[in-house]
Structure 1
C-alpha cells in the first residue's frame, strides 16, 4: 500500500504540472475550469484501472502501453463529460500528453531508485532456525525493496541457515546494527526463552532501528497475517484490532450512503435480472440463506439465485467450485460480474452487513473451519461485507485451505482498518467487477 500511495501521490503532482499550460491560457482571469478539477480523479482512476500503479517490475514498453491506455480512457471520459466546451479537444489532448510523459518519467525514476541497493531496507534477522529461513524468503520476494544484512546467532536457537550468512551474535547486536546500517531487526527465533537481551534491543530501537517480530514482518511484506504464527499476546500488543465506537459509527454512515446510492443506480436493472432468472431456470428469483454476522450472530442474506433450485437438496452444504454444475447459465454470468450480490445492499441498509468487511460465511462452514483454524472467530469482530480485502486479493474460496488463506487477509483488514484501506478495497472491487476476476 505504501508504494501505491507514493505512486498515486506523485501522479497528483504530475497532473497539476500538466494542467499549468492549460490553466494559464484560460480566460478571463486565468481561473481553472471545472474540467481542470475533474482531471485529477479521472487520470488517477484510469491509471489505477489500467494497473499503472502495480508494484511489479515492468519493462518500459509494458508500462508505457498501460499509461497510454489510461490516458486514452481519461480522454474519452473527460471528453464525454465536457464535450460542449469550445477548444477543450486540443487543450485536453496536450494536457494528457504532458501527463503521459511526466508520469512515465517520474515513475521510472522511482522504480529505479527503489530497485537500487542504495535505497533498499537492510534487515538483520535475529535467529538462525526455520523461522529465520522464512524471513529470508520474504525478503527475497520483496523485489529488491529489502536486503538481508545477515543472521544474528543466539545461545540456543538451532542453526539451519547457511553459516556464511551469520554475521555475529546477539551480544554484538548494537555494533552489528551500526556496521550494516540496519533499518530493522526481525526477531525470528525458533526458541525464545533465554535468547533475548532486551537492553541491547532497546538501545537499537533508540538508534532508530525498527524491532519487529516475524508475524509483523510477514504482515507488512504480504498484506496478510500468518494465523499459524501468532498468539493472543501478539493480538493484544498489536497497534491494530481496535474498532472503536467512532469507527463503527463512521462505517455505518458510509455504508448507508454507499448502499442507498448504489441501490438507486441499479434499481432499473433489477427487474431485467429477475426476468432473466425466471426465464432460464425454475425456482424463485431470490435466494435466502443463513450466514454468520458480527459477534457470531446469524442473519439471513439476500442474493439473486444463481444455482438451480434446491441445488443442495441431496448433498447438503457444500463448497462452490470451478465450473460448478449447480450454477445456471445466467448464474455463471451473475457470479462473474457480482450481480448476484446486489440484493445484499438491503442487508447493508438493515445493518446485518457492511459494504466492506470479511465475507459472510455459512454456519456449517464456520463450525468446520473454526475447529481446525485458530482465531477464525476473530473475523466476526466486524460486520461481514459485500466486498473486502480478502475478496479482492484472493480468488473465491472453495475449500478449507482457501478459507484459512482468506482469514489471513481478513485479520490484516481488521488490524489495519483505515480510510485509505477502505478506498483501496472499493477501487480494487471496481477493477474485479469490470475485469470479472475471481467469481465462481
Structure 2
C-alpha cells in the first residue's frame, strides 16, 4: 500500500516517512482491536515496544538495502514528440537523478531509424502521440531483446488495460467493459460515503470551529465559507463548499484564474489551510448531500472544463462518476501535474475502480499531506539534454 518495496525511486526520507505512517496506522488498528476484542487483548507496553522495534528494524533494513543494491539504471530511450521531450526527460531526471542517462528520438522518424537505437539502450519509454503501428513494432522488438518498455497511455490503452479475456468459439477476444460504476458498486460507494462523511463531520467539528474563528479574526467582514459552482456527475452543476482561503471577492477584478504558488490573493490563514488541505473539509457536506464522493476525480469549474475539452477530446469521461474530495490523481500527481496527466490518473481510477482502491487512496492521501513536493511540485533540474542532431538527443 505504501510502496515500501519500490527501492530505486525512494529517498531515505521517503522510506522513513512511509514506514512510520504505515506502522502508526497499524498501531491504531492493533490498539482498537485489542480494545474491542478480548481475543486480541495485549498489554499496551507490548504493543508500544513492538511499534518502536518494527520502525527501527524496517527503516534500517530498507536503508541498508538501498545502500547495498543501489545501482545505475542505465540509459532510457524516450520515443515521443518534440513537445513532450523537455517535460518527460526532466521528469525522468527528477525521479532517478544521476542513476539514469536519457536519449530522445522523435516519434515522427522512420521506424527503421527508431529500431536501430534500441540495441544501444537499457530501457524504452514510449510517448502518447506515437502511431499505433510504430508503437507495436517498438514493443515487439524491445520485448524480443528483453528490454523493459514503459508506455505513456492514451485512452485506448487505459480501456484495454482492464479488459476481460473471453472466447467466441475457439477465438480469444478482449471484452472491454463500459466506463463507470455498476449499480452495486454505486450503492456500496454511496453507503460508505454517507457513513464516513457523517462520522468525519462529527469528529472534525472542533476543527471547523477553530478555523472558522481564525478566518473571522483575520477578516472580520469576510465570509467563512466559499461557495462556487462545479461540474459533478454527468456534467450536472452543484455548489461546492470550502473554507475561504482568499480575500473576499478575489475574482471580481481578475475573472476565473487558477491560483498560483505565491498568489497574493491567498490570506495567511488560507495559505496554511491550502498546504494542509483543511480548506477542503467542508466538502464533507457535499458528500453527505450526494453531490460528491470521498474519492473521485476533483470537480472542475465549467469555465476551465470547456477549455480542457478543446485540448483533450476525452476529458468529459472523467465526469462519468461523482467527483471526490481526494482522488487517484491527487496521490499520484502533484499540484503542478499537467491536465492531461491528471486525466490519465482519473481515467485509470474509473477503469480500475474497487472499494479497496478507494480505501488505499484515502490512506495514501495521508502521505500527501506530509509531502511538500505534492503540494508545490518539484523544481525542474537544470541539466539540459544536449542535442547531437534533430533526431537523437543524448
Place the TM-score, normalised by the shorter chain, in its bin: 0.5 to 0.7
Using the TM superposition, name which of 414-423 and 263-272 deviates more. Answer: 414-423
TM normalised by structure 1 equals: 0.59
Trace 1:35-434 onto structure 2 (pairs within 5 A): 56-58=9-11, 88-89=44-45, 91-92=46-47, 94-96=49-51, 98-100=53-55, 102-104=57-59, 107=62, 130=80, 157-160=111-114, 162-163=116-117, 165=119, 217-218=150-151, 225=153, 230=154, 233-234=156-157, 236-239=159-162, 241-281=179-219, 282-396=221-335, 402-434=338-370
In structure 1, runs of 5+ residues without a counterpart are 8-52, 144-155, 168-181, 220-224
Residues 151-173 of structure 1: CA deviation (Å, up to 9, x unaligned): xxxxx724135547179xxxxxx
Count matched residues.
344
Is 1:438 the equivalent of 2:375? yes
Shift of 1:93: 5.6
Residues 209-230 of structure 1: CA deviation (Å, up to 9, x unaligned): 99x9x8xx436xxxxx4xxxx2
Q: Which has the higher contact order (CA 8 A, sep 6+)?
A: 2
Residues 62-112 of structure 1: CA deviation (Å, up to 9, x unaligned): 6896699679968997999899x99743x3465346534653576579769
Contact 2:295 2:358 in 1 (8 A): yes
Cα distance change of structure 1 residues 159 and 343 upon mapping to structure 2, 3 Å threshold: same
Shift of 1:348: 0.6
**Secondary structure at the counterpart of residue 299 of structure 1:** strand
Contact 2:158 2:347 in 1 (8 A): no
Matched with 1:171 is none
Residues 352-386 of structure 1: CA deviation (Å, up to 9, x unaligned): 11111111111100011111123211111111111
Cα distance change of structure 1 residues 274 and 68 upon mapping to structure 2, 3 Å threshold: closer
In structure 2, runs of 5+ residues without a counterpart are 36-40, 98-109, 164-178, 378-394
Is the radius of gyration larger for structure 1 or structure 2? 1
Using the TM superposition, name which of 235-244 and 255-264 deviates more. Answer: 235-244
TM normalised by structure 2 equals: 0.65
Q: Hey, what's the Cα distance between the residues in 2 that align with 1:236 and 1:330? A: 42
Contact 2:256 2:303 in 1 (8 A): yes
Matched with 1:150 is none
Matched with 2:100 is none
Contact 2:312 2:340 in 1 (8 A): yes
